[in-house]
Structure 1
Amino acid sequence: MIVCVCHRVSDHTIARCARSGMAFDDIQLELGVATQCGQCESGARALWSECTSHQAVAHIQLHPAKLPAQAASA
């Protein structure tokens, strides 16, 4: 789905950039999202926020002592 009509930027592109660690300001600079009419800014920021919050959870590593016995021995 196109999020930014002015610059034809899709939700997939924003999500990919967010998951790669790009800040929203960087996405604006690189892709032009929310830099022209501004109608997409709240939706684009919400999507970026959702994708970056999932990224933080995905990178949490448990200390080996706190892993279940099967996972610790693997």
Structure 2
Amino acid sequence: MIVCLCHRVSDRDIRRAVAEGTRNFEVLQDETRAASACGACHDCAREVFNEAVSTHLALPVQMMEPLAQTRRVIQLASVAA
């Protein structure tokens, strides 16, 4: 579902950011621009973010390792481009 209409940020975008390591709502706003324009979606975006963080923190460390590796590869690719 689209959470932020102003910037077309979906709940999947928020969950993906959390899976890639975002643990601070303000950082999420900087990365996705969710809840950074009109503010109407702030509560919903915060709720999705909090749920994603609590779910992600419940994962075993072994399951989080590949996600961290993927983020590093994406960041390196962005720097190289």
Normalized against structure 2, the TM-score is what? Answer: 0.67
Instruction: Determine which structure has the larger helix proportion and give its number.
Output: 2
Q: Which runs of 5+ in 1 are unaligned?
A: 62-74
**Equivalent residue number for residue 72 of structure 1:** none
Number of residue equivalences: 61
The DSSP-based 3-state class of the residue aligned with 1:58 is coil
Any gaps of 5 or more consecutive residues in structure 2?
A: 63-81
Taking structure 1 as the reference length, the TM-score comes to 0.73
What does residue 40 of structure 2 align with?
A: 39
CA-atom RMSD in angstroms: 1.5
Pairwise CA distance, 1:60: 6.1
- Three-state SS of the structure 2 residue aligned to 1:50 is helix
Structure 1 runs of 4+ with >6 Å offset:
none
Q: Secondary structure at the match of 2:3?
A: strand
Indicate the percent of aligned positions where both proteins have the same amino acid. Answer: 41
- 1:26-64 residue CA offsets vs partner (Å, 9 max, x unmatched): 110122111111011101111010011011111368xxx
